[in-house]
Structure 1
Amino acid sequence: MAASTGTRVDGRAARWAGQQARRRAEFVEAALVAITRHGPGVSTEQIAEQAGVARTGLYKHFADAGDLQRAIAQRAAELVTAELEPVWHPTEGSPREMIVAAIGTHLRWLTEHTELHRYLVRNALTPPLGDSAIDVKAAIGQHLSRLFTGWLGGFGLDPAPADTVAFGLVGYVESATTRWLDHPGSLSLEEFTAQLTGTIWAMLDHTLRMGGVVLDPDQPLPLPPGAEH
């Protein structure tokens, strides 16, 4: 009898946890809509209104505002890494073509989610969000690091620089893109893409040359073993 009671309790706990997770996900999606409508300075009240609940209703599912902000940052990381999925699994093309494709995909996502990007940047500078705002950058950096590790290993080079190069590129692109989004008249999308592409290739080319590998950025590049995984 005790075992049966325990099973029922465990079942209720599992259902409650599932309901909590679903409600949290629904509130996060509502928050994304509210951010698009109200901008990076969106308030908790505006998010609650979008979700159709009172402000106190949010805090039945989030410990505090920081918890909600962290959940938003995590969701943003999931969205952007999914959008960049083709980048993590390259098939063919020249180095320049691959870089242009990656930058183009990233810029398209950012221009479609400009307010969300600004929200994450804005809240990265003040408590309680803190380091959770780097979730998007960390996710991209980790994917790039694995990709670069495969490339360097395939060329017979030490993969140790992959992490530094990956996160360095992410930081550069994020800073430059934030500036460009705030001052769109300074460079066209095509000019900005070309500038990013040139700088990224320069960093990658330097890393390869340090290991004795010289590539033409405009020649098709056969994938080394492991780079496609």
Structure 2
Amino acid sequence: MALVGSAIGAIRRHGAGIGMDEIAASAGTSKTVIYRHFGDRAGLYTAICESVAGVLLTEVRRATADALSDAGRGPRAAVAAGIDAYLRLIEIDPELYRFVVQRPLLTQGTTRRAPTADSGRTGTSDPVNDLVTVIGDEVAVVIAGNLGTPTGTGTDPRAAARIWGHAIVGLVRGAADDWLARPDGTPRERIATHLTDLAWSGLSGLASHVQQEVQP
């Protein structure tokens, strides 16, 4: 939608703390028109989050699929590619990411929107948590398809993969938020390497039939 695109452009120019006046001015319209389309500030915020989520999911899926399609790389490379894709969005669009995670437009109360194709949720929904859940499920699919069956756990391997997938997403999000909030000059590539090393060490230690990354 054009209004969402205009709002995203305004966030990039004015920063994450942008207000409704700036968003309306950037779109060449009034706040009344924006509210008519989205219901309230929270409705606009949710629409922006859904747009960002679509871009991020596309990039994470593409990066992991490309890694898995290369027989010379392996599942560790897929984990690394997914992590790097997440961090790359933050590096390219830091103010937009801040806007999404800091929720400056949210007002008290909840926003009710139709379920998205990925989440399948109804009723009250937090778009940030929905995005994290969807990415966690994506990572779980990669883990389940490539790490084999864990031994000694007495659990369904799919359940273990789901736990691990969401744990990795939490790991990456926490480190990424700190990287953005307290920049110390560490480049994205180094952050991605550190996170991949930590995540893969855990996965390879827990899974009994790990497909080791093929060395060049």
Distance 1:124 1:204 in 2: 36
Asked if the contact 1:96–1:218 (Cα under 8 Å) also holds between the matched residues in 2, the reply is no
SS in 2 for 1:59: helix
Query: Which residue in the other structure is 1:33 paired with?
Result: 9
Map Cα deviations across residues 182-209 of structure 1 (whole Å, 9 max, x no partner): 223253333322211111102221331x
1:143 to 130, 138, 155: 138
Correspondence 1:86-97 to 2 at 5 A = 86-89=62-65, 90-92=68-70, 93-97=73-77
Distance 1:166 1:188 in 2: 24
Q: Which amino acid aligns with 1:132?
A: P
Query: Which residue in the other structure is 1:100 paired with?
Result: 80
Query: Which residue in the other structure is 1:118 paired with?
Result: 98
Q: Which amino acid aligns with 1:98?
A: A
Q: Which amino acid aligns with 1:77?
A: A
Distance 2:105 2:10 in 1: 20
Give the ranges of 4+ consecutive aligned residues of structure 1 lying more than 6 Å apart after TM superposition. Answer: none
Quote how far apart the aligned CAs of 1:119 are: 0.7
Q: Which runs of 5+ in 1 are unaligned?
A: 1-24, 221-229
Quote how far apart the aligned CAs of 1:179 are: 0.7
Quote how far apart the aligned CAs of 1:67 are: 0.9
Q: Which amino acid aligns with 1:107?
A: L
Distance 1:94 1:88 in 2: 10
Please say if 1:47 is aligned against 2:42.
no
Map Cα deviations across residues 23-82 of structure 1 (whole Å, 9 max, x no partner): xx1111111111111111111111111111011110111111111111111111101111
Q: Which structure has the highest helix share of the two? A: 1
SS in 2 for 1:42: coil
2:50 to 53, 58, 74: 74
Q: Which runs of 5+ in 2 are unaligned?
A: 111-124, 151-156
Correspondence 1:123-202 to 2 at 5 A = 123=103, 127-128=107-108, 131-152=126-147, 155-156=148-149, 158-185=157-184, 187-202=186-201
Query: Which residue in the other structure is 1:21 paired with?
Result: none
TM, length-normalised to structure 2: 0.78
Distance 2:129 2:54 in 1: 13
Asked if the contact 2:75–2:146 (Cα under 8 Å) also holds between the matched residues in 1, the reply is no
Quote how far apart the aligned CAs of 1:214 are: 4.6
Change over 3 Å in CA distance of 1:126–1:203 after alignment to 2:
farther
User: Which of 1 and 2 has greater Rg?
Assistant: 1
Query: Which residue in the other structure is 1:225 paired with?
Result: none
TM, length-normalised to structure 1: 0.74
Quote how far apart the aligned CAs of 1:85 are: 2.5
Q: Which amino acid aligns with 1:44?
A: M
Query: Which residue in the other structure is 2:89 paired with?
Result: 109
Change over 3 Å in CA distance of 1:125–1:160 after alignment to 2:
farther
The alignment yields a C-alpha RMSD, in angstroms, of 2.4
Quote how far apart the aligned CAs of 1:125 are: 11
